[in-house]
Structure 1
């Protein structure tokens, strides 16, 4: 198993759902490729919308809105190396692909066609951090792991539409006023709050946070401050928190149990 899976304490097989902002799609394909490199059968998919995968991201793309058709095709394609990618339909006007209802992913998981399913289960309009609306995130009930990601480099930037997806929700959850600098404490709050990034995490799933875009020692230090606040808050929702980066290549600087 590779560095990401090891750091996230992921093993055995199952559904991994990715929520939050600041690198979900990149994490999905990085993690899927890593799992596939170990010899496992891997499906990457989404319950929201996602960009069209590149040639290095997936060996095959299946697009079908018919559940039985999807099950038949993924069961036939699950054998062999590499990552398979499946979605319900193409949105050509946006250059994106639209995913499945969570129940479809639950059915694919129950079929046993894949050892791993990695699902992007949230949207954030390319912002580094978000707070979910009432209908978000869209997490399959079969998820064994839920990874909440955010861009830790947002610390110090103002709370507004440019930096936060649904900033009014972020303000409500964290108590931070609009246009005030985003702090480590506010990021800890949006991770720990039941209406925050990990909202709707299934009770049996392991919740992990990934503080992404830690490109400098200063940003890594800010990540440690988030960890310290979560421990002060005695956060029971999270099992582990990672500090690292995904680009140009995945690198986990450190991880902490909460």
Structure 2
């Protein structure tokens, strides 16, 4: 397992939630590991350029058994011109049980924002997930808590105990990622959660990300969250790991 995969425990069924780099992180891990499968339980933008092959199929296990093209994308349908539909979580469970490599799953949406808290029906994480990676961007800090930067700002406000329109602080991001109603929502019993603070592009971002990570580690259930990864996943670069 590569250092990148080891940082996230991404050798089994790994689900990505939150905002600010889910897809980028999935594609980086897919290309850093052997025999990786990329899929989703929600809609996912067309991602053919990021993997060796995408197969559109209602029978992903049969495709998995017969293919030697990895990283492999598996989806059930091209629902729109720019989007694939995702599988039911139970189908992803069966897929992961049939595969001897990592299965990387987009498990919620964020509408291209840098920060979010989950909605009522989110996330769609299979009960057999080994690892969940809740994500937020360091670039959200210092911005107002509104729809320009945040998906569902009212949910973030509820989880973090602030008001819509307030400035986003490291504390707000950290508390949201650490909350069972935020980044840890839907993490199955026995699974590990490895939060990611992404878009750590310079030293100023790194200081912000450290504050976020320390807040997460202070407020999260440490039996679930062993560490926080600070990274620039567009470059597949880990900047620091906080434990």
2:127 corresponds to which residue?
Answer: 141
2:232 corresponds to which residue?
Answer: 245
Root-mean-square deviation (Å): 1.5
Alignment partner of 1:91: what SS? strand
Question: Mind listing any 5+ residue stretches in structure 1 that lack a counterpart?
Answer: none
Aligned length: 242
* TM-score, normalised via structure 1 length: 0.89
- In the alignment, the residues of structure 1 paired with residue 18 and residue 162 of structure 2 have an alpha-carbon distance, to the nearest angstrom, of 18
Query: Is 1:50 aligned to residue 44 of structure 2?
Result: yes
- In the alignment, the residues of structure 1 paired with residue 90 and residue 206 of structure 2 have an alpha-carbon distance, to the nearest angstrom, of 38
Query: Is 1:108 aligned to residue 95 of structure 2?
Result: yes
Instruction: Give 1:107 shift.
Output: 0.8
- In the alignment, the residues of structure 2 paired with residue 19 and residue 159 of structure 1 have an alpha-carbon distance, to the nearest angstrom, of 19
1:62 corresponds to which residue?
Answer: 55
- In the alignment, the residues of structure 1 paired with residue 218 and residue 126 of structure 2 have an alpha-carbon distance, to the nearest angstrom, of 30
Instruction: Give 1:229 shift.
Output: 2.1
CA contact (8 A) 1:20 1:197 kept: yes
2:194 corresponds to which residue?
Answer: 208
Question: Mind listing any 5+ residue stretches in structure 2 that lack a counterpart?
Answer: none
- Residues 97-106 or 81-90, more deviating: 81-90
1:90 corresponds to which residue?
Answer: 78
* TM-score, normalised via structure 2 length: 0.94
- In the alignment, the residues of structure 2 paired with residue 252 and residue 230 of structure 1 have an alpha-carbon distance, to the nearest angstrom, of 18
Alignment partner of 2:130: what SS? strand
Instruction: Give 1:119 shift.
Output: 0.6
1:17 corresponds to which residue?
Answer: 15
